[in-house]
Amino acid sequence: MAGEFGVVSYGVELTDDFLIAIQGSVQDAGARITELENAGDSRYQASTLTVSFSGSAADLRSAVQSHLGNGMGCAVVPPPLLSEGRKLLIMDVDSTLIRQEVIELLAAHAGREAEVAAVTEAAMRGEIDFTQSLRSRVAVLKGLPVGVLAEVGATIELSDGAEDLVCGYLAAGHAVAAVSGGFAQLLDPLAAQLKLTYAEANLLGISDDCHLTGEVVGPVVDRAAKARYLRCWAAEAGVPMNRTIAVGDGANDLDMLGAAGLGVAFNAKPAVREAADVSVELPFLDVVKHFSRH
């Protein structure tokens, strides 16, 4: 795709030598730098080169890859995300929008946290089927009083920068969505708090006597479902797929990241980092705000 690309460098400390090397590498690849913008932040730094380039985003990524060191990253933003018009940001929830894995917080109330955490890790690495693993993890919650949902909800912590990222996109008129392999009973209040445009997650079964049944009601939100929601919400919001950004950390996010205009791995498992267009290895979710033009 030819046109105007963004080359976004970010890290805890961007040295002058690093930035000069990145500029040199994109020029060596045949790109012409048309604009340079540095964004100061007390937690991390970001620098955006706007370049005119006749090759592909993959070509530019290849050109800058060898310059990346620990704590530094670089995203190549394709032309549609730099163009005017509404965009859609869609995010995974557990370990992405929020710091924790909700299923593990719930399992702690059943005294099964370590066991469930091990299964979660394997599922996120793609080693076991997500739907099967989710049903087995939810089964250990059977008999817990429904009140644990409110208790766990009160302990949820947004990732650093999450609220700024969401508010910034919404204020610019974009759509923001969250899709989770976790649970609607916990995502819905969070979505309302953040004023998300769309949100979807699994529904935990609750018995007539207000206890968890240990089952998921309805189809599981798996990796294929996440990609379907992305496409559906983009169409509903009037956003072309090439103006969508998806962010996630586990194997359950792979289809969604692949379908989006830009797939971002956020402190992700190795297989996800390798498959994504961008890999962010910083704890600051609002780095993503630099990956499009508002």
Residues 6 or more apart whose Cβ sits within 8 Å of residue 156:
98, 100, 102, 105, 186, 190
Q: Quick: pLDDT tens for 46-80.
A: 999 999 999 999 999 999 988 887 778 999 999 99
The answer to whether residue 193 is domain-embedded is no
Q: Cα–Cα distances in Å, from 291 out to 27, 51, 139, 143, 280?
A: 20, 14, 39, 44, 11
Instruction: Give the model's confidence band at 261: pLDDT under 50 very low, under 70 low, under 90 confident, else very high.
Output: very high
Q: Over range 173-178, report the average pLDDT.
A: 98
Question: Whole domain around residue 2: which residue ranges?
Answer: 1-77
Residues 6 or more apart whose Cβ sits within 8 Å of residue 184:
200, 201, 202, 203, 204
Whole-structure pTM value: 0.95
The answer to whether residue 37 is domain-embedded is yes
Instruction: Tell which residue, 19, 135, 61, 91, has the closest CA to residue 265.
Output: 91
Q: Average model confidence (pLDDT) for the chain?
A: 94
Q: For position 12, which CATH number holds?
A: 3.30.70.260
The set of catalytic residues is: 92, 94
The answer to whether residue 281 is domain-embedded is no
Percent of the chain with pLDDT over 90: 81
User: Does the pLDDT value for residue 152 go beyond 70?
Assistant: yes
The answer to whether residue 278 is domain-embedded is no
The answer to whether residue 85 is domain-embedded is no
How many of the other CB atoms lie within 10 Å of CB of 170?
16
The answer to whether residue 66 is domain-embedded is yes
The answer to whether residue 58 is domain-embedded is yes
How many of the other CB atoms lie within 10 Å of CB of 34?
10
Query: What local confidence, expressed as pLDDT, does residue 2 receive?
Result: 64
- Using CA atoms, how far apart are residues 288 and 282, in angstroms rounded to an integer? 11
- The number of domains in the chain is 1
The answer to whether residue 96 is domain-embedded is no
